[in-house]
Amino acid sequence: MDNTQPTLPRQETTMRTKTNKHTKIYIAALNVLTLRTEESLSELSLALQNTKWDILGLSEVRRIGENIIAYPDFILYHMGQTPGKHGVGFLVKKYLAKHIIGFYGVSERIALLNIKLPEYKDPWTIIQIYSPTEQAETETTSQFYQELNKTLQTYAHKNAIVMGDFNGQIGERQWDEDAIIGPFTYSSKPRSRNGKMLAGFAMENNLTILNTMFKKNKNRMWTWLSPDGKSKNQIDFIMSNKPKCFTNINVINNLNFNTNHRMVRAELNSSQPKNPRPKINPEDIKLNRYSTEENVNSLNLKLKEYKRETKDAGIQEKYNWLERTIKNTIKENKTKKENSNNWISEKTTNLLEQRSALISAKMTDNNRKEITKISKEIKENIRKDRRQRRMETIERHIRQTGGIKKAYKELTNKKEWIVKMKNSNGIKKIGRKEILNIATDYYTELYKDNTNEREIELPDNEIIPYILQEETEKAINTQKSDKAPGPDGISNEILKQMKADLIPILTEIFNGVISTEIIPKQWTESNIILLFKKGTTAIWEITGLLV
């Protein structure tokens, strides 16, 4: 059984700074038909590389259960209940992760994202839906809209977006619908049953259908193509109660992904944030042979100033200087982690290019058949590429270390987030901040000093020997590689590569701690990570706290 997680290509952040006053956040919706396998997710990630997006709502995900998974470049949330059917979710760019308030799965047709978008005072609620089709029972569709109404009125913030595959045609605007439907509708055909329910829902909740607010060519408005290629309809919509916040909406014409739906993307206007220097975390740095030499040479020159710049400094100031110098040196000579999709074979790349050309060309019966054929080949080749990469990685690590533990770590490029957590009263919380507060409160109580024992006084004449440089060197050499760094972000690999210059300084600081009995405040800080506990019931455990 292949438990390897997919290696997904990195993508650029689409929140680009412009010379004018505003920047854009791209919010989109797409019926993917299926994201059940990791190969499908990899294929979608490749397709999105050349498309601007920041938040993407997904319909027909077809993944069972409710999960939040952090990949290198985005957060995936999905909610599904029926095997092989329905399911909704979100992809959120990684740079927005810290702004996520929480996800909430209402059902396999309705999911909600609360997020504090940059430069907006109030949070936004984004609801992704997948409506029953026109062929479904009227009662089924009515229940769906009742549930959607309840979700919007119960959980939504002041700013709201509802989007997804509504499986309905709205037709032309009626005389009393100026507030919800703009002048630019796609079809003059009669409004369908689902379209009537959609319009009623929009009217009741004061939502404007953004697809109708901006003038577009008819060929850039339809969002669904029938399997036989003869019918085109506009059934995927983005609605909001804040239409003035949006500057444009587009239908993405040539997304290189195997679906008969087209992506709908709205451009949200936002006050331009300040453009700070990009933050480079030391753990994001790959020390290749050349960058290591640069770091060692550069640090060697800077550390010669240690004596002069810390002449009258205390232990804390000396340690701060050393930590700051190491970090600055690494940033100056940084080499970012390899950011490529070189695990994909040339054959797969060629197939993707062929399909992209077919999608861009005029759609004919032969084209549709060829796209279907190539899409199957793409999925199979991505599967083979992953297997090949997995075997090569395992073989390399077996030759180097004799084991596969580090190989698995390299192949795994995602982390699961906690979906919900119980507080001390047993109430489940889904908000990111609430979950963090529960964990923080638990550890605050756990490590609180409740001891009443009398401190042990050591004899005044007991002499503690000073630490030798050889002991410092041994301590550095025995540190394990490929371990997560602490809050300072300085890894063991960096210490080992620069130990010749660091040993005398660290030894002096260690001996200063012994003589003054003062430790740097950084030594009192640590990262605490919640680990998933396997079992018949998926739970998260913080030591003795079930969540």
Convert 413-450 to b/e letters by CB count within 10 Å (16 or more is b): ebeebbbbbebeeeeebbbbebbeebbeebeeeeeeee
Token output for 162: 């509802």
**Domain boundary assignment for the chain:** 27-271, 346-413, 415-449+517-547
Question: How many degrees, rounded to 5, is the angle at CA 388 between CA 382 and CA 394?
Answer: 135
pTM: 0.74
Dihedral, CA atoms, 27, 29, 34, 35, nearest 10 degrees? 10
Reply yes or no on whether the pLDDT at 408 is more than 50.
Answer: yes
Tokens 């700070």 -> residue: 276
Q: In 3D, which of 220, 101, 94 has the Cα closest to residue 159?
A: 101
68-103 tens-digit pLDDT: 999 999 999 999 999 999 999 999 999 999 999 999
Q: How many CA within 13 A on the CB side of residue 287?
A: 22
360-404 tens-digit pLDDT: 888 788 888 898 899 999 989 998 998 898 888 888 888 877 777
Q: What is the pLDDT of residue 161?
A: 97
Reply yes or no on whether the pLDDT at 532 is more than 70.
Answer: no
Reply yes or no on whether the pLDDT at 270 is more than 50.
Answer: yes
Q: What is the pLDDT of residue 460?
A: 66
273-299 tens-digit pLDDT: 344 544 545 445 444 444 555 666 777
248-266 tens-digit pLDDT: 999 998 899 999 999 999 9
How sure is the predictor about 327, in pLDDT bands with cuts at 50, 70 and 90?
confident
Crossing angle for the helix pair 499-516 and 469-477, to the nearest 10 degrees = 120
454-490 tens-digit pLDDT: 666 666 666 788 899 899 999 989 988 777 788 887 8
Check if the beta carbon of residue 264 is closer than 8 Å to that of residue 211: yes
Check if the beta carbon of residue 128 is closer than 8 Å to that of residue 90: yes
Beta bridge partners of 92: 55, 75
Which has the higher per-residue pLDDT, 203 or 337? 203
Q: What is the pLDDT of residue 480?
A: 84
Q: What is the pLDDT of residue 527?
A: 75
Token output for 322: 């050393």
CA-to-CA dists, residue 31 to 35, 231, 271, 322, 414, angstroms: 10, 17, 30, 52, 23
Please count the residues of the chain: 547
Q: What is the mean pLDDT of residues 320-344?
A: 73
Give me the phi and psi of 517, to 5 degrees please. 60, 30
Reply yes or no on whether the pLDDT at 209 is more than 90.
Answer: yes
CATH number 3.60.10.10 given to 27-271: yes
Token output for 130: 């997948």
304-315 tens-digit pLDDT: 788 888 888 888
How sure is the predictor about 410, in pLDDT bands with cuts at 50, 70 and 90?
confident
